A and B are shown apart, each in its own frame.
Chain A
């Protein structure tokens, strides 16, 4: 079988932009996009807010320079400044490019792309399409890829890389619709598989499949990961599902109330109350729950977001979407009942360690999007910078891979390698005496992470988390796939995703333990301040034996000196 020039794993914003750009760079290339779901279903579609770019349509005095500074400050100075410069200076170009290819944008009166204010930004520079920005960007990219004839392998699940010494030869994947294991020999591979925040399971706003597959595959192949301990939490996720209740609800005057009936934010932010900064509000909710002032339910402890005093009129007219969500997913009408909420894992800053061209530690392997870590978000991502990240670095990786693809001819993937993979998967279906169900393991993993490696972290708890993850890994060795069929075996897929999450959870916990400071999203109660002398550096993780070996990397500095992060 002739090798592909580029195999892109992932059909979200990052993967599709990479595919488009690669085709543009060299239309003669043989490119394949593999995606475990139809590309238009990728989690990029969940982004409502928008994408940042200093177009200066709304605020005429906005500049790329200001965007750079906001991003670096937002990252708590852990972002690499050269990468941030690429991100922000490419931003206006990439947003215009999307516009030129047909993305619908909301418009200002002068017929330019509309922009709105977003957290942590000094100017209104978030470009949006109503409340469906990610969705419309993803649709446009998918449409354009269809126009260009990109070759899609939809509902293919990437399993593992095939490696020759220091170089990848392609990968092995499963055709979900038939269950067949297939080889994808490739000169270059780009991972664009999205984030890993779903490891917090029902304490996560993410889609069920944001299980960090690309990161786990890379990690197993010996590629380093970076900054995995940084996971961003959002204060108000729905109790049962973790889905987001956006800031709008508090903006309109909603109260946060504990089981004693107190508006507890008065303890933490007496002036701003419910409208304090996102991380502070998240920490406040968590404290209330930890100190026993939350409500109890089978789905876990929670607090109330009460909108009832706003009255039916206002709720119906200003917060219709939020009301609909509460009714759909929680069965609660906020006109009559308070909304059950708790903080929810939202975004993974860490990922596969890449340089500014998306190159990873292994020749021929690239990564982009939430799956990679360049790093432009450092310890804390700004709202609206993630869509931008996937577009800008998706495009760069696509171009870089296209330029490299011609220079290498990989040795083929053998039949034996494919058969070995088949046997490995079959082994999950072999009955053994004692067995475990993936469902309870997955839930226990989310629980452990939430309790021990969540918003508040502290050495003894993290250690407990690490032990529990080890136990879960042991239990996983007894996990059983009950569906023994080949066709569309989601039982098997969920087990494979769980394995990926377990591998990555170890790195998150290890990083949380070693980083003895508080920075951005990482809050250590035993080390409550930022420690620039010892910890102004990235953490890296390489698989050694069965666990991660930690390393460190300096932060690339530039024009901006370290400062305290205050707002």
Chain B
């Protein structure tokens, strides 16, 4: 029996924080430090870390600013999930500990480590720049300030949720593709790109879209939902990803998309090498059938107007490659026909 159930209703108790430490000036590799402190119920993880810094170990390093879940500074991994330390109650985390009473605290993944719990954010900013994550106004700058663009509340609602993003990078840290390919566009950047692309005031939809369908772009997403599950603002990130893909198909056509090319190349790769390389990570993590249904033919599915099934449980085996090829050929056939019909209209 874990003692966390027993002590759960107590107003104060001892809690251990097992914190990731790394100082590049002295450490050759990261290690963990345990800090056990007595805490009152109602304390957040950030306040506990502040307490440790002030009273136990002043060198413990993390970012924090607003302490109110607004600024996005304090994202870190707590008990193996990326979240904001300032909105996370210690008492809630006690339920999620692998070892009773020990809360594990680590830096975000998929971004370079600077020190202890601090990671480098510049790669994310660079991607925002790379994918033009801004509105390029249809109005010339010299005319700004004179009159409003008329925008309906309905249009505003299209990007309302997306503009909740505080760039905390929790989703970036949880993204499966980023773990294998750091050049991948990133969920938060896809979300922002989508937000810009549905804004009628913007003048560079097409250019942005062209960037998004290139390598490391929107077609690389494995559709694993990790980003959405970890989003601290509960933003439906997958809607944005679907949205971009739909737009890509609609505006650029199935055959023309790198998505389709990607899919073919992917299959060939498996056929030729007979084993999985890094780019085929989604198969390794999610199973062939699922990957087939979700990753490759997203484009085709859009055309066929099928709904996405929920992600099935992880399958480790990769032995149904043959079956996968057969189904892929069949599906490509469908799509080709469908496409021909459409373009004929």
Contact = CB atoms under 8 A, between A and B. Distances in A.
B41 interface: yes
Interface in B105-148: 114-116, 118, 120-122, 125, 128-129, 132-137, 139, 141, 143-148
Contact of B199 (A24, A102, A437): A102
Contacts of A113: 148
Of the listed residues A41, A42, A110, A483, the one surrounded by the most CB atoms of chain B closer than 10 A to its CB is A41
A37 B151 contact: no
A207 B114 contact: no
Nearest to B164: A132
A310 to B, nearest CB: 22
A235 B66 CA distance: 19
Given A43-B66, A207-B67, A107 B152 contact: yes
B230 interface: no
Instruction: Identify the 5 closest CB pairs spanning chains A and B, nearest first.
Output: A331-B42, A102-B135, A439-B54, A143-B134, A482-B58
Given A46-B66, A100-B139, A107-B152, A146 B163 contact: no
Interface string A125-138: 00001101001100
A209 B68 contact: no
14 contacts: A37-B73, A40-B72, A41-B72, A100-B144, A110-B150, A143-B128, A154-B122, A207-B66, A332-B42, A437-B58, A483-B58, A485-B25, A488-B114, A489-B61
A106 B147 CA distance: 16
B42 A111 contact: no
Contacts of A327: 89
A458 B235 CA distance: 50
A266 interface: no
Contacts of B132: 147
B30 to A, nearest CB: 14
A240 interface: yes
Nearest to B116: A488
B26 interface: yes
Contacts of B148: 96, 99-100, 112-113
Contacts of B166: 40, 45, 135
Contacts of A112: 148, 150
Interface string B172-202: 0000000000000000000000001001011
Contacts of A562: none
B69 A328 contact: yes
Interface stretch (B153-161, B221-229, B247-255, B271-279): B153-161
Contact of A111 (B53, B139, B152, B196): B152
Contacts of B144: 96-97, 100-101
Contacts of A483: 58-59, 61
Contact of A130 (B43, B114, B160, B201): B160
B115 A139 contact: no
Given A331-B41, A439-B55, A488-B116, 7 more contacts: A37-B73, A45-B66, A104-B163, A107-B156, A482-B58, A483-B59, A491-B58
A143 B167 CA distance: 12
B58 A485 contact: no
A440 B72 CA distance: 26
Contacts of B64: 208
Interface string B238-278: 00000000000000000000000000000000000000000
A166 interface: no
Contact of A146 (B72, B114, B134, B167): B134
B290 interface: no
Given A101-B135, A208-B65, A327-B89, A106 B145 contact: no
A316 interface: no
- Chain B interface: which size bin? 35 or more
B44 interface: yes
Contacts of B145: 93-94, 96-97, 100
Nearest to B71: A41
A547 B222 CA distance: 62
Contacts of A101: 135, 137, 144
A41 B133 contact: no
A487 B69 contact: no
Given A439-B54, A485-B23, A146 B156 contact: no
Given A146-B134, A328-B87, A40 B167 contact: yes
B47 to A, nearest CB: 8
A26 interface: no
Given A113-B148, A143-B133, A46 B70 contact: yes
Interface in A201-226: 207-209
Contacts of A230: none
Nearest to B25: A485
A440 B43 CA distance: 19
Interface string A414-436: 00000000000000000000000
A328 B66 CA distance: 14
Of the listed residues A96, A144, A241, A329, the one surrounded by the most CB atoms of chain B closer than 10 A to its CB is A329
Nearest to A102: B135
Interface in A76-127: 93-94, 96-97, 99-102, 104-113
B90 to A, nearest CB: 9
Contacts of A140: 135
B91 interface: yes
Contacts of A38: 73, 121, 125, 167
Contacts of B42: 240, 330-332
A240 B40 CA distance: 12
Given A101-B135, A208-B65, A490-B61, A328 B153 contact: no
Given A102-B135, A135-B166, A24 B43 contact: no
A203 B100 CA distance: 35
A340 to B, nearest CB: 9
B273 to A, nearest CB: 40
Of the listed residues B91, B136, B202, the one surrounded by the most CB atoms of chain A closer than 10 A to its CB is B136
A177 interface: yes
Of the listed residues B41, B143, B144, B155, the one surrounded by the most CB atoms of chain A closer than 10 A to its CB is B144
Contacts of A46: 66, 68, 70-71
Contacts of A482: 58-59
Nearest to A340: B42
Contacts of A154: 121-122, 125
Given A40-B167, A491-B59, A243 B68 contact: yes
Given A106-B156, A113-B148, A488 B201 contact: no
A132 B59 contact: no
A148 to B, nearest CB: 9
A93 B144 CA distance: 8
Interface string A7-42: 000000000000000001000000000000110111
Contacts of B70: 45-46, 135
A395 B166 CA distance: 24
Interface in B44-84: 44, 47, 53-55, 58-59, 61-73
A371 B163 CA distance: 27
Contacts of A105: 151, 156
A262 interface: no
Nearest to A94: B145
A331 B58 contact: no
B179 to A, nearest CB: 23
A212 to B, nearest CB: 15
Nearest to B135: A102
Contact of B58 (A41, A243, A328, A481): A481
Nearest to B202: A102
A434 B59 CA distance: 19
Contacts of A42: 71
A97 B146 CA distance: 7
A540 B51 CA distance: 38
A443 B170 CA distance: 31
A486 interface: yes
A171 B163 CA distance: 35
Contacts of A209: 65
A40 B151 CA distance: 25
Interface in B1-57: 23-26, 40-44, 47, 53-55
